[in-house]
A and B are shown apart, each in its own frame.
Chain A
Amino acid sequence: MIEELIDFINNELLEGAAPDLDQHTPLLELGILNSLSMVRLLAHVDQRYGAKIPEHDITPVYFENIETLAALINTLSAKDEMQTEQSVSELERLVKLQESYGIQSELVDAGEGFKQHVLRVKGDGPLWILLPALGNPSTSWSSTLRSVQGRHNAVALDLAGFGLSQSANEAPSYVDHVEFTLQYLATLEEQEWVLVANSAGSMIATEIARRFPEKVKALVCSGFGLVEDVENWWGDLKKMSSNPEQFLAAAYYHPPKMTPALESLLDDVLSRPAYHSFLDDYARQSIAKTFDGVMVPTLFVAGNHDQIIPPEWSEKAAELLDNASVTRLSRCGHFSASERPEEFVWVVEDFLNREAM
């Protein structure tokens, strides 16, 4: 187990940067582990060793070095290494991890053969509907969910064709996504929503906001704006998608390095038909009109270093709307909710407070 953990931490978490790592290397003092890699380490320990570390045991004493961690795993382990279920995907592993935080995973039958998978937390006020970027699973909202847990009601969606949602249509277009999402929203008890969306998810959100202004109390678009030259932008983006490292460099302020786990997640996404079917001809024509007739209070959260949708495009979009503002986040790229999780929630809550919600 110790060898395997050394291997995982060195290759997956540290991107091979610590060849000298051994079971006594102080993991915390040297800053080897950070908050993000902690989450991935916990997911790994759970999947590989069946050791779900209770939140109250996540104290530094156990994470001092690999030896202390292995000792903890041994006391918690439900199954040994040999019996590992190899069939558990990285995705399911991440969902399980969310559940261990008290976030509920729900598969909701939305009718017509569509089952919507969501992650849900409970709190007060209108329901936040968290719509991810194309290809991103519901777990991409993990930081937001944990941060608002107990304070706001929120559900994070796996778009049809991605994550753990199930649909007969493997290659939904943008229009299909709007319909699937509305189908799911119709099943909800809560009929007052704050739509919080990232990137392509924002296209779905603006459409719903336009059609249901009485239900959508407010709209938050991050990594999204007015795309004026759609064909060129789309061409560049497609080129970039064929080189994931280039994409990560453009999308993140601190791009994560390519590790086997990240690569397998990306491969999974890129190989899905749904990744290629979203922005069909009709959707590309719709991009330019996506803000027409949106009347609900709107906030754009723009990463100041976003090279996928530059912040200026968010500002242009806000100018088209009567009731919209833009907040730029420093040291942030395309994925503000995961790159600057606390600040993201702060600006959304501040916006909702100003809108008296």
Chain B
Amino acid sequence: MDQFKSYDVVIIGSGPAGSLCGIECRKKGLSVLCIEKDEFPRFHIGESLTGNAGQIIRDLGLADEMNAAGFPDKPGVNVIGSLSKNEFFIPILAPTWQVRRSDFDNMLKRRALEHGVEYQQGLVKDVIKHEEKVVGAIYKADGVEHQVRSKVLVDASGQNTFLSRKGIAGKREIEFFSQQIASFAHYKNVERDLPPFSTNTTILYSKQYHWSWIIPISPDTDSLGIVIPKDLYYKECKNPDDAIEWGMEHISPEIRRRFKNAERVGESQSMADFSYRIEPFVGDGWLCIGDAHRFLDPIFSYGVSFAMKEGIKAADAIKRAIDGNDWKTPFYEYRDWSNGGQQIAADLIRYFWIYPIFFGYQMQNPDLRDEVIRLLGGCCFDCEGWKAPTIFRNAIEEYDRKQMAG
């Protein structure tokens, strides 16, 4: 083993969470190394951004580059109910985009490099501990193992959940929405709505936890996803193509209509067990951000938005921990802040699934409408004193009580 280098912050993974955390740490004067296992650009799912994410991107000064890359504007979200008979539209307040993740993640990574984040392609194999404190990582690059020391090790490894697998963070616990399998692929020649709504996200559902997304990710390509319960998948489908076919047949006639002349580009894929949480996700010398500790459900496109927000928030906690020689106060604050926002998002998603029609109806109530639009825009972390989260929480508690009793 060679002589090790030392950084204030070592980040595992250069997706949106890792890049944003790196950029923010650099702005605070910390030295940062980011270790990424994949060669970029690489495929990733999660292609729709919230208004909140759009604001973060503009704050990074990337708006022009986003437009130049051909990422479509996202005016809002269309939610189309069973048999396509009822639907509602949720406008996006802060402008945002739909993205091809391979290009988008690469753009963020380049911006991180411009901010002075150092970058290493390699596979992190293990952590280095000094007693109970995490003080670095061991990674393999070009066939050789290296050591790197860190004041704080950040797990931004996404669904790999590296620190959880190493037993540093807690175990993966399945969340409410984990009993489903998502199958997805990219297509050309999909019929879109007319402008200005041609690049909306469209969500189509039939019954609870049977749904589909259509996301235009470039001027000529749309992402289609079919999410169905696991038992149905294993019973009816041999592969992702079968699941997509099942969705076109059963979720909504509107999917078939739009994909009548569509041609698939590349392979279809399936993903299971994507909904989980990990506790604890902060500790002495380490913390987790984004999917590395929690992923709820793709339905409202919170993934990238939450990952970036947590990356930014974690940088603040990291700076305070390093400066103050006390990790507990800032890291626990970060943890509580994250759990609070994630809980509100989880409630919103569950409420939608239990009462989809009611959700649509309440969108017409001016008292709640603005709040719900903002929550769907990603404001789940900044909604103290709002009415809607309490209404949703109460309704879910009532529902759960009845389910328990029944």
Candidates A58, A149, A342; contact of B91 at CB < 8 Å: A342
Could you tell me which residues of chain B, from 363 to 383, have a CB within 8 Å of some CB in chain A?
A: 363-367, 369
- Segment from A26-34, A240-248, A312-320 that makes contact with B: A26-34
Does chain B have a CB within 8 A of A307?
A: no
Candidates A31, A342, A343, A347; contact of B81 at CB < 8 Å: A31
B366 contacts which chain A residues (CB < 8 A)? 101-102, 146-147, 149-150
Contact: B354 with A60, CB < 8 Å?
Answer: yes
From B91, B208, B360, B364, residue with most partner A Cβ within 10 Å = B364
Contact: A350 with B193, CB < 8 Å?
Answer: no
Assembled-state Cα–Cα distance A60/B354 (Å)? 9
Could you tell me which residues of chain A, from 219 to 260, have a CB within 8 Å of some CB in chain B?
A: 254
A101 contacts which chain B residues (CB < 8 A)? 366
Contact: A327 with B196, CB < 8 Å?
Answer: yes
Does chain B have a CB within 8 A of A215?
A: no
Does chain A have a CB within 8 A of B361?
A: yes
Assembled-state Cα–Cα distance A147/B363 (Å)? 9
Min C-beta distance of A68 to chain B, whole Å: 10
Known contacts A31-B82, A34-B361, A35-B357; can you find 14 more A-B pairs with CB under 8 A? A28-B354, A34-B86, A35-B86, A35-B363, A55-B365, A59-B391, A60-B354, A102-B366, A327-B194, A329-B194, A330-B193, A331-B193, A342-B88, A346-B76
Assembled-state Cα–Cα distance A58/B395 (Å)? 11
Candidates A34, A60, A143, A330; contact of B194 at CB < 8 Å: A330
Does chain A have a CB within 8 A of B229?
A: no
Does chain B have a CB within 8 A of A340?
A: yes
Does chain A have a CB within 8 A of B42?
A: no
Does chain B have a CB within 8 A of A262?
A: no
Could you tell me which residues of chain B, from 325 to 357, have a CB within 8 Å of some CB in chain A?
A: 354-357
Does chain B have a CB within 8 A of A304?
A: yes
Contact: B395 with A59, CB < 8 Å?
Answer: yes
A63 contacts which chain B residues (CB < 8 A)? 358
Could you tell me which residues of chain A, from 35 to 69, have a CB within 8 Å of some CB in chain B?
A: 35-36, 38, 55, 58-61, 63
A35 touching B194 in the complex, CB below 8 Å, given contacts A29-B354, A342-B91: no
Could you tell me which residues of chain A, from 99 to 129, have a CB within 8 Å of some CB in chain B?
A: 101-102
Does chain A have a CB within 8 A of B75?
A: yes
B87 contacts which chain A residues (CB < 8 A)? 331
Min C-beta distance of B253 to chain A, whole Å: 12
**Nearest B residue (CB) for A150:** B366
A55 contacts which chain B residues (CB < 8 A)? 365, 367
**Nearest A residue (CB) for B208:** A29
Contact: B91 with A346, CB < 8 Å?
Answer: yes
A58 touching B208 in the complex, CB below 8 Å, given contacts A31-B357, A35-B360: no
Does chain B have a CB within 8 A of A328?
A: yes
Assembled-state Cα–Cα distance A101/B354 (Å)? 25
Contact: B364 with A35, CB < 8 Å?
Answer: yes
Could you tell me which residues of chain A, from 187 to 234, have a CB within 8 Å of some CB in chain B?
A: none
Contact: B91 with A143, CB < 8 Å?
Answer: no
Q: What are 10 A-B pairs with beta-carbon distances under 8 A?
A: A29-B354, A31-B82, A34-B357, A38-B361, A55-B365, A58-B361, A59-B394, A101-B366, A146-B366, A327-B196
Does chain A have a CB within 8 A of B17?
A: no
Min C-beta distance of A156 to chain B, whole Å: 16
Interface size on A, residues (CB 8 A): 35
Assembled-state Cα–Cα distance A59/B387 (Å)? 13
A60 contacts which chain B residues (CB < 8 A)? 354-355, 358, 395, 399
B86 contacts which chain A residues (CB < 8 A)? 31, 34-36
Min C-beta distance of A61 to chain B, whole Å: 5
Q: Which residues of A contact B (CB under 8 A)?
A: 28-29, 31, 33-36, 38, 55, 58-61, 63, 101-102, 143, 146-147, 149-150, 254, 304, 327-331, 340-343, 346-347, 350
Does chain A have a CB within 8 A of B90?
A: yes
Assembled-state Cα–Cα distance A143/B356 (Å)? 19
**Nearest A residue (CB) for B387:** A56
A58 contacts which chain B residues (CB < 8 A)? 361-362, 365
**Nearest A residue (CB) for B195:** A327
Could you tell me which residues of chain B, from 175 to 228, have a CB within 8 Å of some CB in chain A?
A: 193-197, 207-208
Contact with A along B49-86 (1 / 0, CB 8 A): 00000000000000000000000000110000110011
Assembled-state Cα–Cα distance A104/B354 (Å)? 34
B361 contacts which chain A residues (CB < 8 A)? 33-35, 38, 58
Assembled-state Cα–Cα distance A342/B75 (Å)? 12
Does chain A have a CB within 8 A of B242?
A: no
A28 contacts which chain B residues (CB < 8 A)? 354-355, 357-358
From A59, A60, A304, residue with most partner B Cβ within 10 Å = A60
B91 contacts which chain A residues (CB < 8 A)? 342, 346
Assembled-state Cα–Cα distance A327/B198 (Å)? 12
Assembled-state Cα–Cα distance A340/B91 (Å)? 12
Does chain A have a CB within 8 A of B398?
A: yes
Does chain A have a CB within 8 A of B40?
A: no
Assembled-state Cα–Cα distance A101/B196 (Å)? 30
A61 touching B196 in the complex, CB below 8 Å, given contacts A31-B81, A33-B357, A346-B76: no
The 5 closest A-B pairs by CB, nearest first: A342-B89, A330-B193, A34-B86, A60-B355, A35-B361
B208 contacts which chain A residues (CB < 8 A)? 29
Assembled-state Cα–Cα distance A125/B377 (Å)? 26
Assembled-state Cα–Cα distance A36/B398 (Å)? 25
A343 touching B355 in the complex, CB below 8 Å, given contacts A34-B85, A35-B360, A146-B364: no
**Nearest A residue (CB) for B81:** A31
Min C-beta distance of B191 to chain A, whole Å: 9
**Nearest B residue (CB) for A102:** B366
A61 touching B398 in the complex, CB below 8 Å, given contacts A35-B364, A150-B366, A342-B91: yes
Assembled-state Cα–Cα distance A35/B86 (Å)? 8
A254 contacts which chain B residues (CB < 8 A)? 85
Assembled-state Cα–Cα distance A143/B360 (Å)? 13
**Nearest B residue (CB) for A339:** B87
Min C-beta distance of A80 to chain B, whole Å: 27
B89 contacts which chain A residues (CB < 8 A)? 340, 342-343, 346
**Nearest A residue (CB) for B356:** A31
B207 contacts which chain A residues (CB < 8 A)? 31
Contact: A347 with B82, CB < 8 Å?
Answer: no
B356 contacts which chain A residues (CB < 8 A)? 31
B76 contacts which chain A residues (CB < 8 A)? 342, 346
Assembled-state Cα–Cα distance A328/B87 (Å)? 17
Min C-beta distance of A104 to chain B, whole Å: 14
A34 touching B398 in the complex, CB below 8 Å, given contacts A58-B365, A329-B194, A330-B194: no
